[in-house]
Amino acid sequence: MPALACCVDAAPPPGYAFAGDISFPAPVDFTDVPLPTTDDNTSHWSPSLSAALYNVDGWGGPYFAVNAAGNISVRSHGSATLSHQEIDLLKIVKKASDPKSIGGLGLQLPLIVRFPDVLKNRLECLQAAFDYAIQSEGYGSHYQGVYPVKCNQDRFVVEDIVKFGSPFRFGLEAGSKPELLLAMSCLCKGNPDALLICNGFKDAEYISLALVANKLALNTVIVLEQEEEVDLIVELSKKLCIKPVIGLRAKLRTKHSGHFGGTSGEKGKFGLTTAQILRVVKKLDVAGMLDCLQLLHFHIGSQIPSTALLADGVGEAAQIYCELVRLGANMRVIDIGGGLGIDYDGSKSCDSDISVGYSLEEYAAAVVHAVQCVCDRRSVKNPVICSESGRAIVSHQSILVFEAVGTSSTVGGVSTAFSAPYVAGDLSEDYRFLSEAAFGGDYESCLAYTEELKERCVEQFKQGAVCMEQLAAVDGLCELVRKAVGAGEPVRRYHVNLSVFTSIPDAWGIEQVFPIIPIHRLDEKPSVRGILSDLTCDSDGKIDKFINGESSLPLHEVEGGSYYLGMFLGGAYEEALGGFHNLFGGPSVVRVSQSDGPHSFAVTRAVPGPSCGDVLRVMQHQPELMFETLKHRAYEYVSHDNAAVLASGLARTFDRMPYLVPLSSFGDADAAAAPEDEGVPWSY
């Protein structure tokens, strides 16, 4: 295909010339090109259209919705939330980030907003689902769950679960010694019948600690993950004179084929094979401790996609449970592990790692029915059903809010004026073809010609035949043509005040997709599409995969004021997995409860995110000594008065969060942590 005419706004400087130096008529006025017809309603938009665009009802119901003001609202009590109890998320963000001088909390973004009322509702709904299934089936025992603290070890999250779950005998699961210590401490205030499940690889110290928990009247079960652990339990229990309650984790043949099914099947990381289970039973029998074996545990993977797979695995485990009863074990509990999934994209799909094709009620019904069928057929007493549903309990209770601080596109815009055209060779025929194609509606040819022109001019630029101004003008022309023919703008890059590695590590590590949407301006139609690029100096520090399989997100123009985005359903794992890439620490955190006040909420706790000094300490640096070194340097190289101001600015930097601070905040006493008359920290 021949090259196309190229227009710039000034003559090329000496040394830069096109192949031919001929004059050419001014470029066609593309503003008069007839636009292609579209079915989009560009003149009207509404919050309900935004809710549909982002599928808020699909993944967010019943906790999140779009209100009449075009903001995200939070329904803390789920479907039982009354209209006057809905909380406007934007008002929370304003309350948290506004300066103290005007009634705010002076916190810097990014921000995690926790809703303990949502957490309470999730626990109640899970319990209610199992209670209903048990009653409907006439099941001969009860359900009591445990929360695996690895999902989110935050003190207040764990304490809330123990408090809210106390009426249901809800317990905790630990997988390491620190997790066991925090679980023991929290359950001292919980229901005495609540289970404390001890999973994970164990050494003598772990097992001794679990035995001590039993001595402290905590309902502790030590679950065997490896065959060798039974020898330690027998030895240490006799040495400490503490009778243990023992469980074992079975390796099922049932396998979850999705990304999260790596812990299932015969080659799974944890659990005992059939032969190993038989050897454990024999060892316990010989030691006179077979009556201590009371729980069977299994786990076929997180995000179980369908109740068919779930029922298959539970049915297999129930057979093992009945076999253990036949072998003489004093079995009481079947622990079905985790796996209760979250519908991250609202598609209710059984063929996706980010969705599930069932409700809480359907999940509970499948479990109860599968256990009962096997046990009744084998004439075995129905066991207590336990689950370790972490993701399903804590995912909804927190929202990560962050700010877009700017945008960039693949082109520089169309600001260049094409008043004095210069043409690359004698290309009049191709130029006329472009004009005719544009006015004739052959938009595909227009776009193809302009893209080829861009590629050709880039090659000429590399060879020194085209100058920078000319190359920029070509970019502008190509963008002008795209807009004129209705092709739209290329996907923009939205720069967000966030570290993906710290706050959304699963998006980077396993390409987990979370619902991310603007939390306000949802009464406006999004005019562009974008991907999110974080602050880190890493090309992986971006999000370009979104729900519904989209590679970009509908977004609004960033116009002067703040533009806030929210990541939802991220209350599980993200905080525990977050790192310190580029020494960006965690976000600020507020806990918000529904109240009867004018704004329907009360902030019950506010914690600023880690400062620069805090994250430096994590990597063994000493901020105090670092500051003294820099202060000494300041007095050595700067005049005395200016050195004092400079040192003061350095001190404030150590105390700030690593994230960007809006320029408007520097003059504020609360945000800058400095006297109001000092202005920006580096002025002197």
The 8-class DSSP code of residue 2 comes to -
Using the CB atoms, write b or e for 628-640: b if 16+ within 10 Å. eeebeebeeeeee
Active site residue 537: yes
Cα gap 677→663, rounded to integer Å: 15
Instruction: Work out the number of other CB atoms within 10 angstroms of the CB of residue 429.
Output: 9
Mapping DSSP to helix (H, G, I), strand (E, B) and coil, where does residue 317 land?
Answer: helix
Which secondary-structure segment (H or E) carries 221?
strand 219-224
Helices 229-240 and 204-215: angle between axes, nearest 10 degrees:
50
Q: Which of 418, 319, 331, 329 is nearest to 371 (CA)?
A: 319
Mapping DSSP to helix (H, G, I), strand (E, B) and coil, where does residue 73 land?
Answer: strand
Cα gap 565→546, rounded to integer Å: 13
Q: Which of 222, 227, 220 is nearest to 278 (CA)?
A: 227
Cα gap 421→574, rounded to integer Å: 54
From 6, 151, 350, 537, active-site residue:
537
DSSP notation for 482-529:
HHHTT--PPPEEEEESS-HHHH-HHHHHS-----EEESS-TTS---EE
Cα gap 555→529, rounded to integer Å: 6
DSSP notation for 344-373:
SSS---SS-TT--S--HHHHHHHHHHHHHH
Using the CB atoms, write b or e for 50-71: b if 16+ within 10 Å. bbeebbbebbbeebbbbbeebb
Cα gap 494→528, rounded to integer Å: 11
CA atoms within 13 A on the CB side of 141: 19
The 8-class DSSP code of residue 32 comes to G
Determine how β-strand 588-594 pairs with β-strand 171-174.
Answer: unpaired
Helices 274-286 and 229-240: angle between axes, nearest 10 degrees:
20
| E strand segments, 250-356 | 293-297, 333-335
DSSP notation for 556-598:
----SS-EEEEE-S--SSHHHH---GGG--PPEEEEEEE-SST
Cα gap 325→377, rounded to integer Å: 14
Q: Which of 138, 12, 1 is nearest to 474 (CA)?
A: 12
User: Tokens standing for 627?
Assistant: 């500051």
| E strand segments, 371-421 | 384-386, 398-408
- Write out the catalytic residue numbers: 537
